[in-house]
Structure 1
Amino acid sequence: MSLSPAPNVTQLFGPMLLGVLVNTLLYGIMLVQAMAYFSRYKSDRPWFRYLVAYLVLIETVDLVCDIGIIYEPLILRYGTPEALLVSPVMLRADAVLTVLISTPIQFFIAWRIYAVTRSFIFPALILILSLVSFGGGIATTTVVSAHPDYADFSQFQAEVVTWLTSSTLCDILLTASLVHSLWTRKTRGGSTDSYVSKIIRLTIQTGSITAVAAMLDVIFFLTIPHATFNFMMDFPLSKLYTNSTLSTLNARSWREDIVKVHPTNALFEQTTSATGAQSFSMHQRRSAFLSSRGTGTDAYLRNPKSVLDIAPMP
């Protein structure tokens, strides 16, 4: 009877430690963004604020679990064979905590897409993929709880692949659909197209980060089964979702004087104008012109609160 090779401590705990460190760093960034949001957007829709509070709460629980994941084998089980054979207890909660964060965010972005396109097709597909990802995350937590040994991890690839692949496809679809809907509604007007280009860049940046992280997570899990390199992507994944959402919420006009002069859409970067009321009047005329050309980009300019609730219109 041949003995299995001894686990490589560096490949086992090194990636996990790096993942926890990155997760902790992103948690600090998230807290700064959350505090900025609550202090600036006090008149936001209540469910926006509830969503942010919920994300901060679950992210805090996730951070505690991730610290426990690395603390258990390196401190509590230091020098014992069990540390190299059995996964930490709190690792079992990793997948379900991640989908408890990613799923509401994907639902939120699906609503944003509907607000832009007024079509149910892409939002419905996004919701389906998000729900599949949610189910995969719960299934992953279930099988890890039933089979906590590192040696058994390769036996439940289907659950992990379902969770991360569907999440990746969901992020790619929501990014592509929102970018396409905005791109096709450009009006060839310099100022308006500048706003649209800015929101497109923001959408690509936030959507692609989470998609790439989830993709690398599943690739590392499948191609390097005897190490934990996938946890370098897996542990920070939820923080990437939350930080992307908060950056979108915070990329809005919040000073009253600026909003009154130039009431940009929630996702457009802040702009100022030296002409004051004249600039606002031109913006109103442009909005009225665009309002006769269907929905999409004009919906952003005509009604900024249709996508993200910002300060009241003057």
Structure 2
Amino acid sequence: MNITNPSTPTSLVQNVLPPFNAYTMIGPVVLGALVNACLFGGLVIQTYVYYTNFPNDYRVVKLTVAAILASQIAHVICVSATLWKVAVSGYGNPLTLLIFPLGADAAILFTAITGALVESSFAFRLWKLSKSLAPPLISLALCLLAQSIALTMTVKAFAMTDLLTFETDENRLITLSLTSRLVCELTLTLSMVWYLRKQRSSTFASTTTIIDRLVLWTLETGLITSLVVVFIMSFFLAMKQNYIWVGLYANLATVNANSLLASLNGRLILRVPNQSLNMNPPSSSAGGRSRETQSLVINVTRTVGTVPDAFKYDEGEV
């Protein structure tokens, strides 16, 4: 691959560009876009499962899921456009990597929108669970801080003329954005686990099983997003000169959206199906005549415990 544009002086390339390595510049973008496409497919399936199984949820919850899906459709288009710019239209000219493609700039915006929708939904659940305003308000404040910084980054990204200069000048801004998002995710996750554990000690044994499931499920959905943010921050701080952190950042919004849908659809495991008991009375014969055996089917519904109100969104339940 040629690393210079014929019309660009070699001295400019040497002074501006770090040593070009396709494995750390183009590779992360390609891999990140492919993983993002797979995660988006999972999100579409989860959205279908949600609307099929929970038609009676609050209208605001259903609208939030629709808004997240719309934001993610725009996000995957932006990521795909970035992939095309980096790997196809910019092929043979690494100078195109000096600035973010417009698709990558717009992807920052939709990442912020998705993050705001997801984190505000979890904050609402935390409020229902804690019955207190302090924990959800702290989480919302951190959420607003992270998304406000992300919007500022979007504006500056559209105006950038040099990626390396942008990363250097906005180092504190990007780090603060990722840190506030990480603290917000951990605050929401650990707070919900804390309040669930408090409820566990004051419930019946049948309900304890459900709460244990909810604790594990909350940790799984919350810590995955936090782990992605940790990886992004680590690669950004250690390797600003390549696109590894960019490839990871391309998946942050989709992981966030999937975590919320997995949390909503996880309520399916709390549903206990009806059990059918077949009761067959013994057959008897009298006067040489045999009576036909009849089967009686009784439906029995098991009740294994009470689900906390924070995990109920059905208008008929709450």
TM-score relative to the length of structure 2: 0.82
Alpha-carbon contact 1:252-1:310 (below 8 Å) kept: no
Question: 5+ unaligned residues in a row in structure 1: which ranges?
Answer: 254-267, 288-296
C-alpha distance in structure 1 between counterparts of 2:311 and 2:208, whole Å: 18
Q: What residue number does 1:183 align with?
A: 197
Of the candidates 222, 236, 240, which is equivalent to residue 237 of structure 2?
222
> Does residue 67 of structure 1 match 2:80?
yes
C-alpha distance in structure 1 between counterparts of 2:125 and 2:229, whole Å: 22
Aligned residue identity for 1:174: L
> Does residue 158 of structure 1 match 2:172?
yes
C-alpha distance in structure 2 between counterparts of 1:148 and 1:221, whole Å: 19
C-alpha distance in structure 2 between counterparts of 1:311 and 1:46, whole Å: 9
C-alpha distance in structure 2 between counterparts of 1:87 and 1:130, whole Å: 25
C-alpha distance in structure 2 between counterparts of 1:53 and 1:29, whole Å: 15
How far 1:7 moved relative to its partner?
A: 2.4
Aligned residue identity for 2:102: V
Q: What residue number does 1:33 align with?
A: 46
Q: What residue number does 1:125 align with?
A: 138
Q: What residue number does 1:246 align with?
A: 261
C-alpha distance in structure 1 between counterparts of 2:148 and 2:28, whole Å: 26
Please list, as runs of the form range in 1=range in 2, the aligned pairs for 1:42-121 lying within 5 A after superposition: 42-121=55-134
C-alpha distance in structure 1 between counterparts of 2:162 and 2:261, whole Å: 36
How far 1:40 moved relative to its partner?
A: 1.8
Alpha-carbon contact 1:7-1:84 (below 8 Å) kept: no
Q: What residue number does 1:174 align with?
A: 188
Point out the structure with the larger helix share: 1
Of the candidates 251, 260, 267, which is equivalent to residue 236 of structure 1?
251
How far 1:233 moved relative to its partner?
A: 1.9
Q: Deviations over 1:139-197 (max 9, x none)?
A: 21122222242222232112211211101000001111000001012136321110000
C-alpha distance in structure 2 between counterparts of 1:41 and 1:273, whole Å: 18
Of the candidates 274, 298, 314, which is equivalent to residue 310 of structure 1?
314
Q: Deviations over 1:218-258 (max 9, x none)?
A: 111111111111123211111111111111111224xxxxx
How far 1:307 moved relative to its partner?
A: 4.0
Q: Structure 1 residues 73-82 or 54-63, which shifts more? A: 73-82
Please list, as runs of the form range in 1=range in 2, the aligned pairs for 1:226-305 lying within 5 A after superposition: 226-253=241-268, 269-272=270-273, 274=275, 279-280=302-303, 300=308, 304=309
Q: Considering only aligned residues, what root-mean-square deviation do their CA atoms show, in Å?
A: 2.2
TM-score relative to the length of structure 1: 0.83
C-alpha distance in structure 1 between counterparts of 2:133 and 2:315, whole Å: 28
C-alpha distance in structure 1 between counterparts of 2:140 and 2:86, whole Å: 38
Q: Structure 1 residues 85-94 or 236-245, which shifts more? A: 85-94
Point out the structure with the larger strand share: 2
How far 1:93 moved relative to its partner?
A: 1.5
Question: 5+ unaligned residues in a row in structure 2: which ranges?
Answer: 1-10, 278-298
Q: What residue number does 1:257 align with?
A: none
> Does residue 208 of structure 1 match 2:212?
no
Aligned residue identity for 1:130: C
Give the number of the structure whose alpha-carbon radius of gyration is greater: 2
C-alpha distance in structure 2 between counterparts of 1:89 and 1:232, whole Å: 15
C-alpha distance in structure 2 between counterparts of 1:86 and 1:132, whole Å: 26
Alpha-carbon contact 1:23-1:235 (below 8 Å) kept: yes
Alpha-carbon contact 1:96-1:141 (below 8 Å) kept: yes
Q: Deviations over 1:258-308 (max 9, x none)?
A: xxxxxxxxxx6333464865744xx6xx76xxxxxxxxx7xx2xxx4x543
Alpha-carbon contact 1:132-1:162 (below 8 Å) kept: no
Q: Deviations over 1:84-137 (max 9, x none)?
A: 433212111222211100111111111101101101111011001000001111
